[in-house]
Amino acid sequence: MAAPQSDFTKNVERDPLEQNKAQPPSTVAQPTRVDSVPQQGSTMPGDGSEVHDKSSVVRDPAEAEKLKNDPNVNVVEVPGEKPSFKDQVFGYAKVIQGKTLGKPKVQERGHEVLKGNEEAMPSK
């Protein structure tokens, strides 16, 4: 009397190619969550290397000021938006004009426009 065969060996006997076929990762291992920073760069978006712990993110500037002196907190200040192309052209033109004509006030205005602190052309 022969020993009973498992389902896997029955399938292999029917189809010899099943023996070399790889199983998808979802059937082999359960998905995991990453709670630490990845040690190497991400190779593609959504590959699971993102850190899911967002409890330490601070959005309020007043709260960030309180945490600035805490050695365990890294405060990152995001710069403002870049001026439009039109404003950049105007700013660079004013800087060059100020340097060429020896007018430091015109040159300073160009720098302020490039920083985004001043409008290139005030609205009427």
pLDDT one-digit tens code per residue, 88-103:
999 999 999 999 999 9
Give the pLDDT confidence score for residue 119 in this predicted structure: 84
Q: Return the CA Rg of the chain.
A: 31
Name the percent of the chain lying above pLDDT 90: 24
Give the pLDDT confidence score for residue 103 in this predicted structure: 95
Q: Answer whether 95's CB lies under 8 Å from 69's CB.
A: no
Q: Is residue 100 part of a domain?
A: yes
Least confident among 1-15, 35-49, 89-103: 1-15
Q: What angle do CA 4, 7, 9 make, to 5 degrees?
A: 75
Q: Is residue 6 part of a domain?
A: no
Give the pLDDT confidence score for residue 42 in this predicted structure: 67
Question: Could you give the number of structural domains in the chain?
Answer: 1
Left (φ > 0), alpha (ψ -120 to 50) or beta: where does 116 sit?
A: left
Q: Is residue 107 part of a domain?
A: yes
Query: What's the pTM value of the predicted model, to 2 decimals?
Result: 0.38
Q: Is residue 99 part of a domain?
A: yes
Q: Is residue 104 part of a domain?
A: yes
Domain that holds residue 108: 85-115
Alpha-helical runs (H) found in the chain: 7-14, 25-28, 61-67, 85-101, 104-115
Q: Is residue 90 part of a domain?
A: yes
Q: Answer whether 33's CB lies under 8 Å from 54's CB.
A: no
Distance CA 78, CA 50 (A): 20
Q: Is residue 39 part of a domain?
A: no
